[in-house]
Homo-oligomer: A and B are copies of this chain.
Amino acid sequence: MTRPSFLDLAEHASKPRSVGVTHVLDKGLPLPQLRGLLETAGEYVDIWKLGWGTAYLDRQLVPKIRLLEQHGVRACLGGTLLEIAWAQGRADNCLDWAHAMGFPMVEVSRGVMPLGQQDKSRLIRRASERFTVVSEVGLKDERHQLPADEWGKEAARDLDSGALLVVAEGRESGTVGVYAADGSVRDEVVGTLVSVAGVERILFEAPGKDQQAWFIKQFGADVNLGNIVAQDVLGLEALRLGLRADTALQPSW
């Protein structure tokens, strides 16, 4: 079924795309539900992050990664698992396993374990040998905030080390990292990241609808957005295109 064309809408790059990326945070969606989602809305998803350590536990991991690949979606190993492996001296074991499972992408982060920036850069370079790498910047802890210039420096070093995209931390709650505790955007952090890396190299974790709308109004339909809940994929695409109250363009007459 082809999409209708009777409306003038905002333009969103089509797949495969390097901007306007939609990145889902998967909390363990079973295979049949994933298949249904991809048949309905697969063209609107680019990266599928198996969050936390769920990839380690999912009995359907290999068929899941294959199914994603068939729909042009890249499975990404969430950063927490690699951090835990690193802390146990087993980062290489983790990367070997991820490679054997068929992951094309891994996230490198330092939100849980005490990796220094040098450790992180080394891990990005190491992972880049076999995977596309995205790196995460920002703290997971509600009680601490990273100053804006630290975000910028870390983003720059991660990109230099080989990361394709820098992921701006927001968690699944949308109340830490690039957000204040009330969920509002810390716009000086966003500004610094964009000036350092360019908006097309940043992927903003934006689990909430108001957060998604903020970024789309700020940067347009082709902003990269992440930690999207699987059930919200079609709703986010409607937001990108201006098909929802929050981003619909008023007539100019």
Contacts and interface: CB of A to CB of B under 8 A. Distances in A.
Interface of A: 1, 3-4, 6-8, 27-33, 35-37, 39-41, 43-44, 51-54, 56-62, 80-81, 83-85, 87-88, 90, 93-94, 97, 111-114, 140, 231-235, 237-238, 241-245, 248, 250-251
B40 A28 contact: yes
A53 B4 CA distance: 12
A95 to B, nearest CB: 10
A135 to B, nearest CB: 16
A77 to B, nearest CB: 12
Nearest to A52: B244
Given A41-B57, A53-B238, A54-B235, 8 more contacts: A1-B60, A33-B33, A43-B59, A52-B235, A80-B245, A87-B250, A111-B245, A112-B248
Contacts of A114: 250-251
Nearest to A89: B251
Contacts of A30: 33, 36-37, 39-41
A196 B93 CA distance: 45
Contacts of A250: 87, 113-114
Contacts of A53: 238, 241, 243-244
A127 to B, nearest CB: 16
A35 B140 CA distance: 34
Contacts of A94: 6-7
A62 to B, nearest CB: 6
Nearest to A44: B57
Nearest to A58: B40
Given A59-B39, A59-B41, A231-B28, A54 B238 contact: yes
Contacts of A43: 59
A4 B39 CA distance: 30
A31 B31 CA distance: 14
25 contacts: A3-B59, A6-B94, A6-B97, A7-B56, A8-B88, A27-B231, A28-B231, A30-B33, A30-B39, A30-B40, A31-B40, A33-B36, A43-B59, A44-B57, A54-B235, A54-B238, A56-B241, A57-B234, A57-B241, A58-B234, A80-B248, A88-B251, A112-B248, A114-B250, A114-B251
Q: Which 7 A-B pairs have the closest CB atoms?
A: A53-B243, A28-B234, A30-B36, A6-B93, A52-B244, A32-B36, A53-B238
